[in-house]
Amino acid sequence: MKRQVTIMISIATVSFLIGTMFNVMAMDSGGNPWDKVWTAISELQARVNALEQGTNTKTWHFVTSFTLSSEETVSSLFFVQGEKWRIKWEPQYAESGLFFWVWDENGYVLDFVNGGNLLQIHHEAKGIHYMPHGEGRFYIEIQYIGTNSINFTIESYH
């Protein structure tokens, strides 16, 4: 959408510049009139490129989703790109708590998440946990689950 707006503004600006240039050229009698047109287009393209670089904002991107249970307590490895990522979870029943570990692919513990705290404080068992760790391969292991299953969604920020 931003790109379309930028293109439309560019077209309008180029049209305006061309009209203005022909008026100026009609008053000025020297040189090739198309040189000025191409110069104006070149300058306009430089401005458009600068605007496009400024709109490259970072957002959250879906990585994977999976369900863990008392029978299946460990997720598959998933790859995260970007500078940070987050884990969203939601148990099958709202009155359920959970504890889970976050591991890197080498078997090092990165974090321990106590989802039971949310249940006690906010009376809500779903949550989001932010991971400041950058790009890599990770997996999740649930330690305690007070429900049949928990749905996890992983998102990366880049």
So what's the pLDDT on residue 8?
74
User: Are 91 and 36 within one domain?
Assistant: no
So what's the pLDDT on residue 122?
47
User: Are 28 and 50 within one domain?
Assistant: yes
Which of the 8 DSSP states describes residue 133? -
User: Are 93 and 74 within one domain?
Assistant: yes
Look up residue 102 and give its amino acid. Answer: V
User: Are 75 and 153 within one domain?
Assistant: yes
Domain that holds residue 40: 2-54
So what's the pLDDT on residue 103?
94
Q: In the block, which residue shows the tokens 């090739």?
A: 32
- CA 135 vs. chain centroid, Å, equals 14
| 26 CB neighbour count, 10 Å cutoff | 9
User: Are 105 and 144 within one domain?
Assistant: yes
Closest to 90 (Cα-Cα) out of 144, 139, 149, 142: 149
So what's the pLDDT on residue 146?
66
User: Are 69 and 22 within one domain?
Assistant: no
pTM for this entry: 0.60
At 69, which CATH number? 2.60.120.260
Describe the strand order of the beta sheet including 136-145 as a list of residue ranges. Answer: 78-80, 136-145, 98-104, 109-114
Describe the strand order of the beta sheet including 84-91 as a list of residue ranges. Answer: 60-69, 149-157, 84-91, 127-131
User: Are 84 and 121 within one domain?
Assistant: yes
Q: Is the distance from CB of 131 to CB of 87 less than 8 angstroms?
A: yes
**pLDDT averaged over 10-residue windows placed end to end, the chain, 158 residues:** 74 70 58 70 72 72 92 93 90 69 94 68 68 91 78 92
So what's the pLDDT on residue 6?
77
